[in-house]
Structures are given as structure tokens and as C-alpha cells.
């Protein structure tokens, strides 16, 4: 055996021996023993210590520096919320909350998620034979996900981020006090702030002049997608318009776009088309932010737009989706919005049924903007944030000239109900270029295709950047597929939302 082979074997063995270290903090001896015994059955996990109260939990985390802490919130000496706050401030790490099914514990668990706990797990009311296997499977899955998360890096960044934001904002405020010098310092503003990619298109007249002689028609094609596990309500949103995969890339919203009309092409343009007719060529042409298919083989010289330019919903509308790590991220985003915000926001957050009401209530208390659980058939009003109710899909309906919320039971989509994709698809269909879709932290793929539909229909699609994602799963897939117009860290999203709304309004 040569040296290279020996080193390789040692390297592989090192990987195999590297385990996820865990501390269990629970004042119940029975709970500690059952959870320890369950986790010891998994060779990837090592229990390095136990804590019987909050004070001991803090000391053990500082001493052992585990990969994951499993924390019960109702403990003596120092309660779980204070333990979490101290740990996230001094020695941040992924914390999984042990929650019981009682109002006090559920409320505390919701607050823990908003503070920055990685995830939660509901303790079985009785550790019976039927409940233990599911509890074990869920806990091990969450521990493995927690190990892959960016809680430590994210928490370390937060102090820097807060200082950076205040510095940035202060500098921007100072710049705008000197309006006479804006032209001289334009480049500095550009480097300090992100310009929103949504502008009112002023080139419609130019398109009319350059496109004379072309007859334009709208071509709608049903999107072919597997929807066998989706009920009729969701299937309606799968009737999407076929689009070039490059649609929306670096495009600008056409806020006042009109239906294309017959137009004439200049002679130079006509000559180019004439030269290529015999070759039977077709190609994509972008005019006024719309993707067209130009048929060069046809004597009629037709340009066919593959997007309907006019949305049913004329006002700006924001839709957001999040999974693991979402509660804290949503708090960061929504805290940056004012009470009189001039647009509605609809959110799907993957949460256990028992947490939705408490989560919504806590967000409403923390934020200036009004936050509520969405109700079926209620009209969508600006200045409100609508959280999808538990165990129901949420979509946008348009009736009587106004947008309404529709909630309904159906089959889970991407393993979730409510599903982010259901909301995003309905927004893309009705709002088109007036929609801003935002896909935040979380594992899996829910929301990815819906974000792509928003972009394809002319809207703006944002994926949370790796910099601040607790779990870089859903946004990563969306970015890889080219479905995001922009990538932003969570602390810059609220500023972008406000600019988007200001542009349209």
C-alpha cells in the first residue's frame, strides 16, 4: 500500500468518524433519557452532554461547543427563551426547540423562532409505540439539517449588518440633503445602493416606429406539467403561457404596456427579414420588455408576443414564501416596512398548524405594518400582510374588478399545504409585471417553479442570497434554474420592496 492510498483511507475514516455533536437541555429526566436513547441509535450523532436547567445549558454550550442544542423552553433557574438569547448573542449555534402542546409553550416556541431558533419539534404527549418512530425520524432529520445550516455565520454577521445598515442609511440621507450635487455624486450613490430593475418603459413609441407592417397576435399555450396530485383549484393555475426560457432576464417591468397593434418595419429591417425568409429561420426578439417569436419563413412577417402585456391587477402586489429559518427572516423584512405601506403582502410560511396564530400575533406586535391570518374571500387591501392559514392553500382570485384571497383544502404540493407554489402561480397569472415574488430560506423546492412563473410573466423575482439564508435550499435551486431576477440578503429586501412599490405607484 503506497503513501497516497494510506492517506486516502485515513481521510475517509476521518469523515466517517466525524459525528454531529449534540447537547440535550431538558429538566425532565424521562425526556432526556428517551431522546438520548433514540439519538444513540444513529451512528452519525453523538450526545456530548445533558443539561437539567437553563444555567447549566449556557455553561455546557460554552464549554462543549456542540453542533446542535436541543432545548426545552420551560426550565428552572433560567428559562429557555433567555438561554436562547444568551447563546445566540455569545456563542451562536443551531437550536432545536422542544415544544409541548399547550398555549404557554407554543407562545414561547414562536418567540424562539423569531429570535433565531433553527427549528422546533413537538414532544409527543405520550411516548407510546406509535408516536416514538415518527418523533425519532423527525428529530434526526432536523438535527442533520441543523448541522448544514449557517446559524453561526449568520449570527456573527448580524452585528456587522446592523452597523452597516445604519452607516449606509446615514450616508444616503446626507447625500439627499445636497440635491444640487446629486449629479456629481451619482456614482457614489450607485455603489452604496442597489438600483431597482423596474422602470416605466419609455420606448413604446420607438417600437411602434420600428415595427410597422407586422401583424401581432397573442399566442397562449397551456403549460404542460405533471399535476396528478393537485386538485382542481391548483390545476387552474397551471394554465400558464409558454415563454422563452430567457424571458425576464435583466428585463424591466412595463408598467403601462398596451396591447400590441399592427405596426410597420423600416425598410432596412424589412430587407434583413427578406434575406432570411428562405432559410425558414425564427428567433426571439425583445421589444418593450416583451419576448416575441419572429417567423422569418412567413410572407406575412408576423411577430408573436408570448406574454400578455396587461395584468388584471393594476396595483403592486408582493408575495413571499419561506420554510426553515423563515420566521426570523420575515421579522427582519417586515420590520423595515411602515404602517401605511402602499401595497399588500401575501406570505406562505411552512409552520405546524399549532404555531400559525401565535406566529402571526407576534409578528403583528413586533412590526408597524398590520399582520393577520388570511381569511377566505376577503378583499386584498394595501397596508396589510396576509399569512396563509394552517392546512389550507392560499391563492389570489380576481372578481368584481378586485383581488381577493381564496383559501381551500386540497392535496399537498411539494409535500406542503399551504404551498408557496400555489400562491406564486396565482400572483404571476393575475399580476404579471406588477408582482414582486420573494423566495426566502428553506429546504426543498416549494416555491421554485412559482418564482419562475413570476419572472416569466414579467414580474420581479428575488431569491434570498446565500449570505443570510439559514438553509440555502429553495433559493439555491431557483437561482440555478435562472428563475431569480435578483439575489439579495434578507437585510436589504425591505428597501427593495419599498422602491418596487414606489416605482409602480
Residues 161 and 85 in one domain: no
Task: For residues 478 and 375, state if they share a domain.
Answer: yes
Active-site choice (295, 446, 453, 465): 446
Q: Are 109 and 164 members of one domain?
A: no
Let me know if residue 199 belongs to a domain.
no
470 and 323 in a common domain: yes
Out of 305, 326, 352, a domain closes at 305
pLDDT at 469 exceeding the cut of 50 = yes
pTM across the whole model:
0.67
Last residue of a domain, one of 305, 340, 356: 305
pLDDT score of 114: 93
**Do 335 and 249 fall within a single domain?**
no
Angstrom distance (rounded) from CA 213 to CA 194: 40
The pLDDT mean for the chain works out to: 76
pLDDT on residue 100:
81
Q: Looking at the domain assignment, is residue 345 inside a domain?
A: yes
Write the CATH number for 53: 3.40.50.2300
- Within this chain, do residues 102 and 8 fall inside the same structural domain, yes or no? yes
Q: What is the pLDDT of residue 254?
A: 40
> For residues 95 and 81, what is the distance between their CA atoms, to the nearest angstrom?
11
Q: Which of 86-100, 204-218, 258-272 has the highest mean pLDDT?
A: 86-100
| pLDDT of res. 148 | 87
181 falls within a domain: yes
d(C-alpha 435, C-alpha 429), whole Å: 10
| 21 confidence band (pLDDT: 50, 70, 90) | very high
What pLDDT, on a 0 to 100 scale, did the predictor assign at position 245? 44
> Which of 6-20, 154-168, 261-275, 337-351 bottoms out in mean pLDDT, i.e. has the lowest?
261-275
Catalytic residue among 99, 323, 358, 419: 323
Q: Does 310 fall in a domain?
A: no
* Predicted confidence (pLDDT) per residue in 88-97, tens digit: 988 899 999 9
Average pLDDT over residues 199-205: 46
pLDDT band at 430 (very low <50, low <70, confident <90, very high): confident
Across the range 93-110, mean pLDDT stands at: 86
Q: For residues 501 and 505, give the distance between their C-alpha atoms in angstroms, rounded to a whole number.
A: 6
Segments forming the whole domain that contains residue 294: 204-305
**pLDDT surpasses 80 at 10:** no
380, 466: one domain: yes
Separation between Cα atoms, residue 470 and residue 327, nearest integer Å: 11
Does the residue 198 lie in any domain? no
Q: Report whether pLDDT(168) > 60.
A: no
Q: Do 159 and 142 sit in the same domain of this protein? A: no
SS3 state of residue 266: coil
Collect all residues with Cβ–Cβ distance below 8 Å to 244 and sequence separation of at least 6. 284, 291, 293, 306
Task: Read off the pLDDT of each residue in 178-190 and give the average, rounded to a whole number.
Answer: 46
What is the C-alpha to C-alpha distance for residues 302 and 134, in angstroms, rounded to an integer? 59
Whether 231 sits among the annotated catalytic residues: the reply is no
Same domain flag for 137 and 161: no
Q: What is the pLDDT at residue 263?
A: 40
Average pLDDT, stretch 109-115?
92
pLDDT tens readout for residues 56-69: 999 999 999 999 99
In this structure, is residue 123 part of a structural domain? yes
Residue 232: per-residue pLDDT: 55
Kindly tell me if the per-residue pLDDT of 253 is higher than 60.
Answer: no
Among candidate residues 50, 214, 350, 393, the one labeled active-site is: 350
Mean pLDDT is highest, among 57-61, 148-152, 160-164, for 57-61
User: Does residue 253 sit within a domain?
Assistant: yes
Residues 49 and 185 in one domain: no
Helix (H) or strand (E) holding 452: helix 448-456
Q: Does some domain include residue 237?
A: yes
The mean per-residue pLDDT over the stretch 406-411 comes to: 95
Domain boundary among 282, 305, 328: 305
Q: What is the pLDDT of residues 308-329, one digit of tens each?
A: 445 677 889 999 999 999 999 9
Same domain, 144 and 158: no
Q: Do 96 and 238 fall into the same domain?
A: no
Number of structural domains in the chain: 4
* 323 catalytic residue (yes or no): yes
Instruction: Give dist(CA 286, CA 191) in Å, integer.
Output: 29
Is residue 393 annotated as part of the catalytic site, yes or no?
no
What pLDDT band is residue 400 in, cutting at 50, 70 and 90? Answer: confident
Amino acid at each position: 500500500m503506497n503513501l497516497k492510498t494510506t492517506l486516502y483511507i485515513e481521510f475517509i475514516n476521518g469523515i466517517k468518524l466525524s459525528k454531529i455533536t449534540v447537547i440535550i437541555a431538558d429538566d425532565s429526566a424521562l425526556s432526556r433519557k428517551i431522546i438520548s436513547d433514540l439519538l444513540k441509535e444513529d451512528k452519525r450523532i453523538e450526545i456530548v452532554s445533558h443539561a437539567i436547567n437553563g444555567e447549566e445549558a449556557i455553561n455546557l454550550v460554552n464549554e462543549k461547543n456542540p453542533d446542535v442544542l436541543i432545548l426545552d423552553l420551560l426550565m428552572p433557574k433560567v428559562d429557555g427563551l433567555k438561554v436562547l438569547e444568551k447563546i445566540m448573542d455569545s456563542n451562536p449555534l443551531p437550536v432545536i426547540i422542544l415544544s409541548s402542546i399547550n398555549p404557554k409553550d407554543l407562545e414561547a416556541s414562536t418567540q424562539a423562532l423569531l429570535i433565531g431558533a433553527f427549528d422546533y419539534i413537538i414532544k409527543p404527549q405520550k411516548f407510546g409505540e406509535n408516536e416514538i418512530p415518527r418523533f425519532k425520524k423527525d428529530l434526526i432529520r432536523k438535527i442533520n439539517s441543523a448541522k448544514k445550516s449557517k446559524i453561526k455565520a449568520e449570527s456573527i454577521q448580524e452585528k456587522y449588518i446592523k452597523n452597516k445598515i445604519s452607516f449606509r442609511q446615514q450616508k444616503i440621507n446626507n447625500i439627499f440633503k445636497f440635491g444640487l450635487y446629486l449629479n456629481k455624486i451619482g456614482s457614489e450613490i450607485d455603489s452604496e445602493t442597489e438600483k431597482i430593475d423596474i422602470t416605466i418603459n419609455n420606448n413604446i413609441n420607438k417600437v411602434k416606429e420600428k415595427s410597422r407592417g407586422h401583424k401581432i397576435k397573442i399566442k397562449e399555450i397551456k403549460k404542460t406539467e405533471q399535476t396528478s396530485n393537485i386538485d382542481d383549484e391548483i390545476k387552474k393555475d397551471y394554465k400558464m403561457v409558454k415563454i422563452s426560457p430567457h424571458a425576464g432576464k435583466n428585463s424591466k417591468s412595463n408598467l403601462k404596456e398596451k396591447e400590441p397593434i399592427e405596426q410597420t418595419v423600416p425598410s432596412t429591417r424589412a430587407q434583413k427579414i427578406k434575406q432570411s425568409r428562405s432559410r425558414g429561420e425564427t428567433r426571439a426578439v425583445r421589444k418593450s420588455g416583451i419576448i416575441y417569436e419572429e417567423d422569418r419563413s412567413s410572407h406575412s412577417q408576423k411577430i408573436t408576443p408570448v406574454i400578455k402585456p396587461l395584468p388584471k391587477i393594476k396595483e403592486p402586489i408582493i408575495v413571499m414564501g419561506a420554510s426553515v429559518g423563515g420566521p426570523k427572516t420575515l421579522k427582519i423584512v417586515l420590520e423595515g416596512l411602515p404602517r401605511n405601506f402602499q401595497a399588500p403582502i401575501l406570505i406562505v410560511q411552512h409552520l405546524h398548524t399549532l404555531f400559525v396564530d401565535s406566529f402571526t400575533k407576534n409578528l403583528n406586535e413586533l412590526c408597524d405594518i398590520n399582520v393577520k391570518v388570511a381569511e377566505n374571500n376577503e378583499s386584498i387591501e394595501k397596508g396589510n400582510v396576509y399569512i396563509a392559514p394552517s392546512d389550507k392553500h392560499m391563492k389570489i382570485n380576481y372578481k368584481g374588478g378586485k383581488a381577493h384571497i381564496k383559501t381551500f383544502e386540497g392535496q399537498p404540493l411539494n409535500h406542503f399545504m399551504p404551498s408557496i407554489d400555489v400562491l406564486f402561480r396565482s400572483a404571476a397569472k393575475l399580476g404579471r409585471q406588477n408582482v414582486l415574488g420573494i423566495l426566502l430560506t428553506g429546504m426543498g423546492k416549494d416555491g421554485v417553479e412559482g418564482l419562475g412563473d413570476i419572472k416569466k410573466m414579467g414580474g420581479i423575482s428575488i431569491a434570498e442570497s446565500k449570505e443570510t439564508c439559514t438553509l440555502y435550499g429553495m433559493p439555491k435551486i431557483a437561482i440555478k434554474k435562472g428563475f431569480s431576477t435578483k439575489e439579495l440578503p434578507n437585510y436589504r429586501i425591505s428597501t427593495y420592496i419599498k422602491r418596487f412599490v414606489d416605482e409602480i405607484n
